[in-house]
Amino acid sequence: MRLRHTHELSAEERSALLTFLYEAFDGDFADSDFDHALGGVHVFAEDESGIVGHASVVQRQMMVGDTVLRAGYVEAVAVAARMRRRGMGDTLMTHVYGIVVGAYDLGVLGASDDGMPLYLRRGWTPWTGPLGALTPDGLTMTPDDEGAILVLTTGLGADVDSSTRLVCDWRSGDLW
């Protein structure tokens, strides 16, 4: 495993990462998804062929009720098809855990149906309260994301009540 901050990635490495993610997500990976994965710490799994696994943790602000917390938001978790079901996702998430616990008040991620069992097994828990986002139009509730947003409580976020409202900051593309 290799950890690198986005600023340490060359143009060639970014291009290889985008190609890997596009293939790992079977083409269901937008430019905005890639943008969301940049600006933080990347965890890479590699072999002689190149990237075979990836996860990144980027900083976002989350409002839990009326309290603003610094969140390590997990993005672009992917394993090459030929490497799946071999524990690589667990290994990636072990490194993600260390980053989140070491630097943030709370870990947050939006889980796919395929990824949900991995995250639950690793101690992430579903947020049960209402979800929203601060948008240019003000607070917008995002009920379609309920059930898919998971949190890892740590630091100042250790005592959060997951039945309260969780609001993310604004970004283009998918809000969560």
Q: Which residues of 47-78 are buried (b: 16+ CB within 10 A; e: fewer)?
A: eeeebbbbbbbbebebbbeeeebebbbbbbbb
Residue 150: predicted pLDDT = 98
Q: Report the C-alpha dihedral over residues 120, 39, 156, 122, rounded to 10 degrees.
A: 20
Domains of the chain: 2-168 (3.40.630.30)
What are residue 132's DSSP bridge partners?
141, 167
Per residue of the chain (176 residues), give pLDDT as tens.
999 999 999 999 999 999 999 999 999 999 999 999 999 999 999 999 999 999 999 999 999 999 999 999 999 999 999 999 999 999 999 999 999 999 999 999 999 999 999 999 999 999 999 999 999 999 999 999 999 999 999 877 778 999 999 999 999 999 99
Who contacts 69 (Cβ-Cβ below 8 Å, separation ≥6)? 61, 62, 63, 104, 105, 106, 156, 157, 160
Radius of gyration of the chain (CA): 16
Task: Output the pLDDT for position 176.
Answer: 98
Whether the predicted model's global pTM rises above the 0.75 cut: yes
Q: For residue 164, what pLDDT is reported?
A: 97
Integer CA distances (angstroms), 130 to 22, 107, 172, in order: 31, 17, 21
Instruction: Give the pLDDT score at 83.
Output: 95
Q: What is the C-alpha to C-alpha distance for residues 172 and 151, in angstroms, rounded to an integer?
A: 22
Nearest to 34 by CA among 92, 79, 80, 75: 75
